[in-house]
């Protein structure tokens, strides 16, 4: 009986698959529905250092309501530049709660650093120039963190 139990325990994962179900990891080009303030948009999620370093370099155009969210592992003073980025962008700096701290403009191919004034930045959102103003997104507004966390889990291939 003991041998049968051991064999059954060993065979179950082969018959039914692993007990931990994992979804396929979404790539950097996947767009995820997001919301900030009252504005809805779709965003790529940059998680790795390589993805964050590349950002939107080489991107010649984005959809009207498309952007990229950069995810940091810890709060810090953020700094971005526009090397090899031919489109005009705005960047919002957010804290760990998803609160917009400030929005700044960035200029095509400008290698001058655009820095946050706060050292509490955990997330940055790059959108087409004027998007935040057009959609009335300002300091004090919040990113929908439930949607955001769902997107990050999908990017990582987690349930």
* pLDDT at residue 19, as a whole number: 34
Q: Could you tell me if residue 7 is inside a domain?
A: no
From CA 131, how far away is CA 146, in angstroms rounded?
Answer: 22
Q: Could you tell me if residue 103 is inside a domain?
A: yes
**In the predicted model, what is the mean pLDDT of residues 136-143?**
98
Q: Which of 141, 72, 69, 139 is nearest to 101 (CA)?
A: 139
Distant-in-sequence, close-in-space partners of 16: CB < 8 Å, separation ≥ 6: none
**In the predicted model, what is the mean pLDDT of residues 89-106?**
98
CATH number of the domain where residue 116 is located? 2.60.120.1140
**In the predicted model, what is the mean pLDDT of residues 78-91?**
97
Q: Could you tell me if residue 12 is inside a domain?
A: no
* pLDDT at residue 22, as a whole number: 45
* pLDDT at residue 123, as a whole number: 98
Q: How many domains is the chain partitioned into structurally?
A: 1
Q: Which of 1, 134, 4 is nearest to 65 (CA)?
A: 134
Q: Which range marks the domain in which residue 33 is found?
A: 26-156
* pLDDT at residue 76, as a whole number: 97
Burial class (CB in 10 A: 0-12, 13-18, 19+), 80: buried
**In the predicted model, what is the mean pLDDT of residues 128-147?**
98
Q: Could you tell me if residue 18 is inside a domain?
A: no
Q: Could you tell me if residue 20 is inside a domain?
A: no
Q: Could you tell me if residue 121 is inside a domain?
A: yes
Q: Could you tell me if residue 14 is inside a domain?
A: no
Q: Could you tell me if residue 17 is inside a domain?
A: no
Q: pLDDT tens digits, residue range 10-48?
A: 433 333 333 344 456 788 899 999 999 999 999 999 999
């Amino acid at each position: 009986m003991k041998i049968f139990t051991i064999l059954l325990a060993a065979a179950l994962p082969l018959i039914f698959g692993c007990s931990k179900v994992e979804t396929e990891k979404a790539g950097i080009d996947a767009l995820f529905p997001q919301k900030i303030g009252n504005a809805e948009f779709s965003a790529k999620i940059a998680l790795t250092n390589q993805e964050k370093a590349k950002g939107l370099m080489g991107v010649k155009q984005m959809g009207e309501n498309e952007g990229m969210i950069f995810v940091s592992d810890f709060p810090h003073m953020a700094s971005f530049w526009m090397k090899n980025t031919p489109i005009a962008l705005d960047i919002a700096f957010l804290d760990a709660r998803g609160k917009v701290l400030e929005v700044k403009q960035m200029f095509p191919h400008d290698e001058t650093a655009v820095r946050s004034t706060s050292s509490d930045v955990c997330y940055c959102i790059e959108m087409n120039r004027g998007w935040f103003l057009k959609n009335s997104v300002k300091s004090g507004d919040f990113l929908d963190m439930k949607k955001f966390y769902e997107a990050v889990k999908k990017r990582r291939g987690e349930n």
